[in-house]
Amino acid sequence: MLYRLTFLILISACTTLLAEESSQQKLQNVKTEIQSLNQDVSKNKASQTELFKQLKQQSRAVSNINKTLLSLEQEIKQQDDELKRLENKLQQQHASHSEQLNALNQQIRSSYIHGQPSFLKILLNQHDPATLSRSTSYFHYFHQARQQQLMNISHILTNLSQDQKALFSAQKTQQALYSKYQKKQRALQSQTDKRQATLKRLDAKISGQDSRLVFLHEQEKSLHSLLNSLNKPAAKTANKTPSLRSSFAKRAGSLTWPINGKILARYGSSRNLGKLTWQGILISTPPGKNIVASASGNVVFADWLRGFGLLVIIDHGDQYMTLYGNNETLLTQVGDSVSTGDLIAQSGDKGIRQHAGLYFEIRHKGSPTNPLKWLSKKS
């Protein structure tokens, strides 16, 4: 009986030890899994950070190339005008040359047909002094006219040669501009392809609702941080621009639209992610369209910002600011003064899970306000 009891106690102790070892093993497995997940999360965040860094560089590169292309287009247009001017001038020179040659030919032909004697022969045959004087004057004027025509022809030929050289030089310049333009276009296509690939990879990483929500919160946080840093120097210089402050504050309902287009998202509407709402408006527009300043002010930010792409922020005084996001090309820089309707950027394509178009905000003291209450009514 005692032996049987001892045996049962030993079995119970072994079972307890095995259970404890099993629990410890499970706990260790859980710890290992948590550690592995933390490592995966860290790697994913590091990967996202690197992708955003790439996107920033690529967006800047696309903007700079587009800006260069716009400048080249302007140069090419000016060169086209110069070529047309030179070609017209050459045509006029050719016409004048032909006219002078025809006049000289007619003069020589007329002299030949009428069989006019040489000046020496007339001089030797004249006995009347008056007749001799008239003949001398005639031959003097005749010779002078012929010399003038020859000089005109020589002058035209000289100018023709110079204009031909200028035209040739202008044509060479035009060819060089076209070559540079084509090279920049290829560079633009390469950078655009890289940017699209980066956007696709980022889109895949934040495709889940939770990830998207975190991304939008981080985006709003980064914007708040930026606006706070911009408002500090703006407050110091606010008293220096009283006319700017008063003019903007009084323009509610009359501001210029930065671009015409259908409103895809309205201020205060849901973003279908938690309780997040739109802080501005999204205006539909194809890529590459001109974006203009809604009011006069000073550019205080013109760069890439996570979630907003290439962003322009204009300070209008009294802590009023307008924001123009999701651009493809920046055509202004920090420190620039702009007037209402001035060109500041060009619209971009689709960003991370966004529509193609312009994102527009108006903020006062860092807080968003409904842009539709400030913009003029559409007809």
Phi and psi at residue 164, to the nearest 5°? -65, -40
Beta bridge partners of 195: none
Q: Higher pLDDT residue, 147 or 269?
A: 269
Lowest mean pLDDT of 103-117, 272-286, 300-314, 336-350, name the range.
103-117
Task: Report the candidate in 327, 315, 306 with the shortest Cα–Cα distance to residue 362.
Answer: 315
User: What share of the chain has pLDDT > 70, as a percent?
Assistant: 61
pLDDT tens digits for 355-368? 678 999 999 988 99
Identical fold between 56-203 and 209-373:
no
If you classify domain 56-203 with CATH, what class do you get?
mainly alpha
Q: Can you say how many angstroms the Cα of residue 110 is from the centroid of all Cα atoms in its chain?
A: 67
pLDDT band of 8, cuts 50, 70, 90: low
Beta bridge partners of 337: 298
Question: How far is residue 2 from each of residues 6, 7, 14, 221, measured CA to CA in Å?
Answer: 6, 9, 19, 74
Mean pLDDT of all residues in the chain?
A: 75
pLDDT tens digits for 61-88? 999 999 998 988 888 888 888 888 877 8
Parallel, antiparallel, or unpaired for β 357-364 and 343-347? unpaired
Sign of torsion over alpha carbons 311, 316, 321, 323: negative
Domain positions in the chain: 56-203, 209-373
Can you tell me the mean pLDDT for 248-260?
92
- pLDDT of 281 higher than 70: yes
pLDDT band of 240, cuts 50, 70, 90: very low
- pLDDT of 226 higher than 70: yes
What is the predicted pLDDT for the residue at 235? 46
If you classify domain 209-373 with CATH, what class do you get?
mainly beta
- pLDDT of 46 higher than 80: no
Q: Can you say how many angstroms the Cα of residue 137 is from the centroid of all Cα atoms in its chain?
A: 72
- pLDDT of 273 higher than 60: yes
Beta strands in the chain (DSSP E): 263-265, 281-284, 290-292, 297-305, 309-315, 320-330, 337-338, 343-347, 357-364, 367-369
- Given phi > 0 = left and psi -120 to 50 = alpha, else beta, which region is 282? beta
- pLDDT of 231 higher than 80: no
pLDDT band of 170, cuts 50, 70, 90: confident
What is the predicted pLDDT for the residue at 75? 87
Q: Which of 23-37, 85-99, 339-353 ranks highest by mean pLDDT?
A: 339-353
Question: How far is residue 296 from each of residues 101, 241, 379, measured CA to CA in Å?
Answer: 62, 11, 23
Q: Higher pLDDT residue, 276 or 212?
A: 276
What is the predicted pLDDT for the residue at 194? 87
- pLDDT of 125 higher than 70: no
What is the predicted pLDDT for the residue at 21? 58
DSSP for 230-264? HHHHHHHTGGG-HHHHHHHHT-TTTBPPSS---EE
Token pair, residue 329, equals 């090309």
Token pair, residue 231, equals 């408002």
Q: Higher pLDDT residue, 183 or 362?
A: 362
Question: How far is residue 86 from each of residues 78, 82, 91, 179, 339, measured CA to CA in Å?
Answer: 12, 6, 9, 22, 37
- pLDDT of 14 higher than 50: yes
